[in-house]
Structure 1
Amino acid sequence: MNFKPRFVALLVTLAVLVGAAGTYIGMQYFGDPGGQKQTANADQGAQNFGSLSEEEQKEFLDKVGNTDLKKVEQAYSVIKDNYVKDVDQQELVEGAIQGMLDKLDDPYSVYMDKDTMKQFNQTIESSFEGIGAEVSMVDDKVTVVAPIKGSPAEKAGIKPNDQILKVDGKSVEGMELYDAVLKIRGKKGSEVKLQIDRPGSEDLLTVNITRDDIPLETVYSDTKTVDGKKVGVLEITSFSEKTSDEFKKALTKLEDDGIEGLVIDVRGNPGGLLQDVEEILKQFIPKDKPIVQVEDRNGEKSRYFSELEKKKDYPITVLMDEGSASASEILASAMKEAGGYDLVGTKSFGKGTVQQAIPMGDGSTIKLTLFKWLTPDGNWIHKKGIQPTVKVKQPDYFYTNPVEIKVALKYDDTSDKVKNLQTMLEGLGYDPGRKDGYFDKETVDAVKAFQKDAGLEVTGEIDEKTGGKIEEKVVKEVRDDKNDLQMKKALDALFK
């Protein structure tokens, strides 16, 4: 790099003196999935300019340019002394910082003031309250990366790539990401109403979610039997401070129980701490290939290796989907390119940058993108994602949308809502004959059959009550493990 992180922080600090994630809703990690939590030391964080040596001061000023800093100082003074209203000096300072970060056009580089950092430090290390979804700013819209497993957001049907347009009836357009998140967060037991724009859906969706405690348990263990062989399943929902320890304990127990294969499930995992995914990969990737590569702005690469002599003596597959991002993609790419293991599912999210937290000395922090991360073979997957080696989607009804019916749907209607419900009915075993959105006679018969079995009035029309019952049964089917085609394929791929 042209200058060290301390100088990045100083640039902003001096602009203040002479002159500011993606994010979890609830929150677990502020910024990117796949960021790198970092404590301050001599080379990281805001420094007092006067504490630098004369040589370091000269180096810094040469790099940022005296003229540019004087321009910032002049603008600050003009606004503070002459604007028609009194202005809060701290707001000007933070506005200057935020303005510089906005110019980077990078949703993962963010400024966190003291209050934000206080909440961040609480939520990265403990449970938190909220809806349990990780969001980022994509094309200036608050966009869901993934809901957290078992969270209110997941139970309410929130999906990756959902765009949040309104919160409790108020638009979040033009807001900074964290300001929007503050509106979505709230105390356990309170309710929030979100207006959602979902790709592929013609109508906007309204989703009511009751906030709850979101525990930070990140590793879930299970065993399954395939052709008489015991297989371990380890699901990682995010990579936080204790994830690698949790994973190691769970894996040791599975191995002690005699597993003959392993599935690592990172579907819907939005990422987290880089060092935790590294520690997990060191248990699987031999030392002859890097786990991950990190590239700075000058193209200089650092490669990270394990000390493992050989691979595990049992087969492994990795499950991923469009909600698998950043640290999850580091895991998937290393297991594929350095381990030779199959990736099962659908293409991943595509987030290939690394952030570091740079403390500003007053409790606030800049989280700045400093590096790209590359796969073991040197590929950069940013905005591209990783393709599975074994591609498999879930059944079509897994991708249907919540039902909102104000006027009953009936014979001869045509709409995306009808198409959505036809897909649901087919998934429940009631064949509507078509899934193109036209409410024909066969769809009427399918609705009547469903209403009869559900104990509803048999009308052949889909009103709010019938639609709600269809959705309820679809949600139940989605949560039933027997319908998880991706898991079935991952298990089958172990021994084929």
Structure 2
Amino acid sequence: MNPEPKKKKTRGVKPWFYAISLLVVAVLSIIGTLFVSSSSFGNMEETSALETEGVLSVSDTPQDNDFAVIQEAFARLKESYYQEVDDETLIEGAIAGMAEAVEDPYTEYLDDVESVTLEEDITGSFEGIGAEVMKEGEYVKVVSPIPGSPAEEAGLLPNDLVMEVDGKAIEGMSLNEAVALIRGEKGTDVVLTIDRGGQTFEVAITRDAIPVETVVYQLDETHPEIGHIQITNFSLPTYDELVEAVTSLREQGAKAFVFDVRGNPGGLLNSAIELSNVFVEEGKPLFQIQERDNEPYVYHANDELYGDFKVTEPSILLINEGSASASEILAAAMNESADIPLLGMPTFGKGTMQNVEPIGDGGELKITVGKWLTPSGKWVNEEGIVPTIEQELPSYVNLLLINRSKTYQETDLSVEVENIESILEALGYAPGTVDGYFDEQTTKAVSQFQQEENLSVDGIVTGDTANLLVERLRELINQNDTQYDAAVEWLIDNHSMEQ
């Protein structure tokens, strides 16, 4: 029986807004891993060895003499460290150290505060800047900002490296320590120092509540027979929200769909299974999981287990380098088992799944327990999924923010000036050679922009001029989503959708 869709008004936000909205509001969340928990699989007949046998056997536990070394280190620190240290600090440090020792960016110890944060992420309600991150060497790498989140609006992009938080270097910190610095209450500010392709710049972000809605949808303005559905995350309500979106768009006349997981960092494995089942015929493979020392286990489409709502209309899926984890499971299932084309750029490449288990007094241990494979058995870890149709966005989507607190004027020479020249050129002005030198031609281009925008005309970029240049660039990006346009064109060229 199909889930009964709830009534909800469609939002007038363009889902492809993921590329680079350059406003300022944001907090970093650690979502996007594939969480395997008993709650996710409790109603499934298909289970793996992990669920039926447990994760840790008696033979895996350390011997008494191994524990003696740990106890000795604990006692010596308690007795000899020059300051008093409490038991909980040492115990949590030991657990965190063991998790870090396996050198897997997705295996980590979560204290009680971080456990609450994770629960908020899973249920889709939390405060932060809204970006999935992972450890990258000594720093933190942005996997993907959540579409519509403060992180996206601030202009963060996949593969950005966070070097400092409010002037404090995070080199050598654990992922949890770095995230703790970045997180904060709604309305408070944080300044991130970002390295993007060797260029370093600061992003001032106001933390905010992260949007709870995980599916955003609307009819195409030019071709109302096509519905556009963006899936921003895989959390508990995502399946019902997708059913509602498709049902509503069908009622409005949609005959085909552009689905969109660009910038979607992932989420719950169970949600990925339910959504994949929407597109795949009964009995066909959805994906595979492979645990340690076990053969791959194949999950098949099963309407009784995962819901019988189906999408059979002509469809295409948009992906990019910010599509990770559960997004990649969905993309592989749609492409390999339902022959639905993928359009965009190669995905992030996260091919592992994590189990979250309680440990100690309120803490949790997030452990990578296996890897997932596509229906055909391919492991996409660190490689990603290659689109059926490769389509880039305009190069100006990667231009940087302009620091409104600084002043850029004639005779200046810097990479920041080169960025300003590139923005002016993208907006149709003529700054001269884009070489980082603020010359007379650059001044004229800035003055022309200021005059047309009713700003004070002085040829200097700072304050309101900097803000408006960035705002106009954001609008240009939103108006020129070459990937979405190509998806619509593909549907029109390959399918008849007469009203």
Residue number in structure 2 paired with 1:273: 268
Q: How big is each residue's C-alpha offset from its partner over 1:227-271, in whole Å with a ceiling of 9 and x where there is no partner? A: x56011111111111111211222223234442211111111110
Q: Quick check: 464-473 or 338-347, which moved more?
A: 464-473
Using the size of structure 1 for normalisation, the TM-score is 0.82
- The 5-angstrom pairing of residues 79-158 of structure 1 reads 79-125=77-123, 127-158=125-156
Residue number in structure 1 paired with 2:483: 486
SS of structure 1 residue aligned to 2:318:
strand
Residue number in structure 2 paired with 1:254: 249
Residue number in structure 2 paired with 1:172: 170
Q: Structure 2: 5+ residue runs without aligned partners?
A: 1-25, 43-53, 494-499
Shift of 1:214: 1.8
Q: How big is each residue's C-alpha offset from its partner over 1:50-109, in whole Å with a ceiling of 9 and x where there is no partner? A: xxxxxx9x9624764444333323333343344454432222211111111111111101
Aligned pairs, how many? 451
Residue number in structure 1 paired with 2:313: 314
Distance 2:371 2:326 in 1: 12
Q: How big is each residue's C-alpha offset from its partner over 1:102-138, in whole Å with a ceiling of 9 and x where there is no partner? A: 1111110111122322343345335222222222212
SS of structure 1 residue aligned to 2:162:
strand
| Structure 1 residues 471 and 65, CA gap change in structure 2 (3 angstroms) | same
Distance 1:65 1:373 in 2: 32
Give the letter for the 1:139 counterpart.
Answer: G
Whether 1:416 and 2:415 are equivalent positions in the alignment is yes
Residue number in structure 2 paired with 1:34: 34
- The 5-angstrom pairing of residues 67-82 of structure 1 reads 67-82=65-80
Using the size of structure 2 for normalisation, the TM-score is 0.82
Distance 2:309 2:87 in 1: 59
| Structure 1 residues 119 and 446, CA gap change in structure 2 (3 angstroms) | closer
| Structure 1 residues 126 and 318, CA gap change in structure 2 (3 angstroms) | closer
Residue number in structure 2 paired with 1:215: 211
| Structure 1 residues 82 and 418, CA gap change in structure 2 (3 angstroms) | closer
8 Å Cα contact 1:348/1:385 also seen in 2: yes
SS of structure 1 residue aligned to 2:450:
helix
| Structure 1 residues 484 and 372, CA gap change in structure 2 (3 angstroms) | same
| Structure 1 residues 433 and 115, CA gap change in structure 2 (3 angstroms) | closer
Shift of 1:459: 4.8
Residue number in structure 2 paired with 1:206: 202
| Structure 1 residues 113 and 311, CA gap change in structure 2 (3 angstroms) | closer
Q: Quick check: 122-131 or 341-350, which moved more?
A: 122-131
8 Å Cα contact 1:31/1:108 also seen in 2: no
- The 5-angstrom pairing of residues 381-460 of structure 1 reads 381-404=380-403, 406-410=406-410, 414-432=413-431, 434-439=433-438, 442-460=441-459
Q: How big is each residue's C-alpha offset from its partner over 1:167-212, in whole Å with a ceiling of 9 and x where there is no partner? A: 22222222222222222222222222222222252xx222222222
Residue number in structure 1 paired with 2:492: 495
Distance 1:60 1:116 in 2: 28
8 Å Cα contact 2:124/2:236 also seen in 1: no
Give the letter for the 1:290 counterpart.
Answer: P
8 Å Cα contact 1:130/1:188 also seen in 2: yes
SS of structure 2 residue aligned to 1:282:
helix
Q: How big is each residue's C-alpha offset from its partner over 1:447-469, in whole Å with a ceiling of 9 and x where there is no partner? A: 34323312345455545553333
Question: Relative CO higher for 1 or 2, CA cutoff 8 Å, sep ≥ 6?
Answer: 2
Residue number in structure 1 paired with 2:49: none
Report sequence identity in percent: 40
Give the letter for the 1:33 counterpart.
Answer: T
Distance 1:59 1:419 in 2: 59
Q: How big is each residue's C-alpha offset from its partner over 1:403-460, in whole Å with a ceiling of 9 and x where there is no partner? A: 137343426x553223322221222122445444455665454334323312345455
Distance 2:452 2:60 in 1: 77
Give the letter for the 1:423 counterpart.
Answer: S
Q: Structure 1: 5+ residue runs without aligned partners?
A: 1-24, 43-55
Give the letter for the 1:419 counterpart.
Answer: E
8 Å Cα contact 2:111/2:362 also seen in 1: yes
8 Å Cα contact 2:31/2:267 also seen in 1: no
SS of structure 2 residue aligned to 1:145:
strand
Give the letter for the 1:158 counterpart.
Answer: L
Distance 1:27 1:125 in 2: 16
- The 5-angstrom pairing of residues 215-234 of structure 1 reads 215-224=211-220, 230-234=225-229
